């Protein structure tokens, strides 16, 4: 990969999230055109190579040795003066030698690896969305590198979706909240007077949480949030962590008001589990990401519940109390912003998200404070481990119920 050098500038090769320290710069001399290796420096803070040009150098060439999948993608070559623009219109794409005839998974030429589109028009539209999101990622992460943002973005497998499509894809049923309150007595999850809450709670490390799952194209986040909360409560009771069946909820809870891959709510899912006498294991009723005939089989039931409890709406302190005393809690958030779609790491802080227009059910599995004093909720999503921090996101805590984290919180009663 090469870029021309016309003046005596500091030259930079830049790429987010790559093994930059292991790359080698090769330079072509202007007169002899012979290739020679020159020393270079690596700026850890800015994640870029730096080479000081001289009058004999006309071209900077970047070579990657022992290329790994994570190294594939776009690299940007520019001078110190234009570093923060990074030639958005002229990225250079790195490919493995045996993949030169294939389209790269991080290339807009085919959106994301494994995806195909029905028409050329749709493919063109997806390319434009992908490129727009790529520009957003680079600009945002440059601010993060300067300490102006608390989280980083990345080109996730959802990077070819726009905001509205994303919002509709992960729809829930907000109208179900509060009308289905339990008549069962709720356990006391409040701390006694004078007793403070711990500064850190992590139910993942404590063994209450199953591995991250992937809902795929089915709008079933409500089912994954419900099983996650129920899995945690069953572990608390039995000390056995057993993945439960989201597919059974998708196929069988229509009478309670859920609509399969069309959306639903954790409250109605808990109602179904109570009415059905329990929920099967995930292995006995496997996930297909589509609606099917209800095939529940009582001998494989692994979890039961007698109702559910809603927390006071928009009360983050009560949510913190419940997470501490009860365990993983089901919540619904606004995940419609591109910053959520492309979230990669750090503490998510999105002031523009809504506290009431909620569209994605997730699971709060803990909370804490980072080294900079920023408070966060530890949240498990159902978009697979390739999204976020291996499937998790740390969301801002005590920022006026940001993204509606405490607007619709509930847990099953075992």
- Out of 84-98, 319-333, 341-355, 371-385, which region has the weakest mean confidence (pLDDT)? 84-98
pLDDT value of residue 156: 85
**3-class secondary-structure state, position 358:** coil
pLDDT value of residue 251: 98
Note the Cα 365 to chain centre separation in Å.
15
Q: Cα separation of 190 and 288, whole Å?
A: 39
Q: 401 pLDDT band (50/70/90 cuts)?
A: very high
Task: At 175, list the tokens.
Answer: 């109208």
- Tell me what the mean pLDDT of segment 139-156 comes to: 94
Residue 258: HSE in the Cβ half-sphere, 13 Å Cα cutoff: 29
Q: Cα separation of 342 and 155, whole Å?
A: 6
- Out of 6-15, 40-49, 110-119, 391-400, which region has the weakest mean confidence (pLDDT)? 6-15
Give the end-to-end CA distance of the chain in Å, rounded to a whole number.
60
Q: Is 134 left (phi over 0), alpha (psi -120 to 50) or beta?
A: alpha
pLDDT, tens only, 284-325: 999 999 999 999 999 999 999 999 999 999 999 999 999 999
pLDDT, tens only, 95-121: 333 333 333 344 555 444 456 777 888
- Residues ≥6 apart with Cβ < 8 Å to 371: none
- Tell me what the mean pLDDT of segment 73-92 comes to: 41
Q: Where in the chain is the domain with CATH 3.90.70.10?
A: 164-413
Radius of gyration of the chain (CA): 25
DSSP-derived letter for residue 184 is S
Q: Is pLDDT above 80 for 330?
A: yes
The residues pairing with 12 across neighbouring beta strands, listed in sequence order, are 50, 78
pLDDT value of residue 291: 96
Query: CATH topology for 164-413?
Result: Cathepsin B; Chain A (3.90.70)
pLDDT, tens only, 179-192: 344 434 344 555 54
- Tell me what the mean pLDDT of segment 167-172 comes to: 62
Q: Transcribe 264-320 into DSSP letters.
A: --HHHHHHHHHHHT-EEBTTTS---SS-------GGGEEE--SEEEEPPTT-HHHHH
Place of tokens 């569209």: 359
Do you know the residue count of the chain?
A: 414
Q: Cα separation of 134 and 122, whole Å?
A: 18
Q: Which of 68-82, 162-176, 300-314 has the highest mean pLDDT?
A: 300-314
Q: What's the pTM value of the predicted model, to 2 decimals?
A: 0.71
Task: At 371, list the tokens.
Answer: 């080294």
Q: Is pLDDT above 80 for 50?
A: no
Q: Cα separation of 24 and 9, whole Å?
A: 19
pLDDT value of residue 120: 80
- Out of 36-40, 223-227, 273-277, 327-331, which region has the weakest mean confidence (pLDDT)? 36-40
- Residues ≥6 apart with Cβ < 8 Å to 200: 366, 367, 368, 369
Place of tokens 């997806």: 126
Q: 85 pLDDT band (50/70/90 cuts)?
A: very low
Phi, psi of 333 (to 5 degrees): -130, 170
Q: 160 pLDDT band (50/70/90 cuts)?
A: confident
DSSP-derived letter for residue 400 is S
pLDDT value of residue 236: 98
DSSP-derived letter for residue 46 is T
In 3-state terms the chain splits into helix, strand, coil percentages (rounded to 5) of 25, 25, 50
Contact 307, 413 (CB under 8 A): yes
pLDDT value of residue 193: 40
- Out of 40-49, 113-122, 335-344, 376-385, which region has the weakest mean confidence (pLDDT)? 40-49
pLDDT value of residue 167: 59
pLDDT value of residue 86: 35
- Out of 21-30, 74-83, 386-395, which region has the weakest mean confidence (pLDDT)? 21-30
pLDDT value of residue 63: 52
Neighbours of 234 (CB within 10 A): 22
Place of tokens 């998510």: 348
Task: At 190, list the tokens.
Answer: 């409040």
């Amino acid at each position: 990969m090469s870029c021309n050098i016309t003046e005596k500038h500091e030259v930079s090769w830049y790429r987010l999230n790559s093994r930059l320290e292991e790359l080698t710069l090769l330079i072509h001399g202007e007169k002899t055109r012979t290739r020679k290796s020159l020393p270079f420096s690596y700026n850890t803070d800015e994640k870029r190579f730096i080479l000081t040009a001289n009058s004999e150098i006309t071209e900077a060439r970047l070579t990657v040795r022992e290329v790994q999948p994570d190294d594939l993608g776009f690299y940007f070559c520019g001078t110190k003066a234009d570093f923060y623009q990074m030639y958005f219109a002229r990225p250079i794409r790195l490919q493995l030698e045996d993949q030169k005839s294939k389209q790269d998974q991080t290339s807009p030429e085919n959106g994301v690896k494994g995806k195909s589109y029905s028409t050329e028009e749709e493919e063109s539209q997806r390319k434009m969305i992908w490129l727009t999101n790529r520009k957003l990622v680079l600009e945002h992460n440059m601010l993060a590198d300067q300490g102006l943002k608390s989280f980083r973005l990345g080109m996730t497998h959802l990077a070819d979706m726009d905001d509205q499509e994303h919002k509709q894809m992960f729809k829930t049923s907000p109208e179900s909240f509060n009308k289905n309150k339990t008549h069962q007595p709720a356990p006391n999850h409040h701390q006694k007077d004078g007793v403070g809450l711990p500064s850190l709670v992590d139910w993942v490390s404590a063994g209450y949480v199953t591995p991250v799952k992937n809902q795929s194209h089915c709008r079933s986040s409500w089912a994954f949030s419900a099983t996650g909360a129920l899995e945690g409560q069953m572990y608390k009771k039995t000390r056995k962590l057993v993945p439960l069946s989201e597919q059974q909820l998708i196929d069988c809870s229509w009478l309670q008001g859920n609509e399969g891959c069309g959306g639903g709510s954790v409250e109605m899912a808990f109602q179904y589990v109570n009415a059905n006498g329990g929920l099967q294991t995930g292995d006995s009723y496997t996930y297909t990401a589509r609606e099917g005939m209800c095939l529940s089989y009582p001998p494989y039931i692994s979890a039961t519940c007698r109702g559910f409890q809603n927390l006071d709406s928009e009360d983050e302190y009560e949510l913190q109390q419940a997470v501490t005393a009860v365990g993983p809690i089901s919540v619904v958030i606004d995940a419609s912003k591109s910053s959520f779609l492309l979230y990669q790491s750090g503490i998510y802080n999105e002031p523009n998200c809504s506290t009431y227009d909620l569209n994605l059910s997730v699971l709060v599995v803990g909370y804490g404070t980072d080294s900079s004093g920023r408070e966060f909720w530890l949240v498990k999503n159902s978009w697979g481990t390739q999204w976020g921090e291996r499937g998790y996101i740390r969301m801002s805590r005590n920022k006026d119920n940001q993204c509606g984290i405490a607007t619709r919180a509930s847990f099953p009663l075992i």
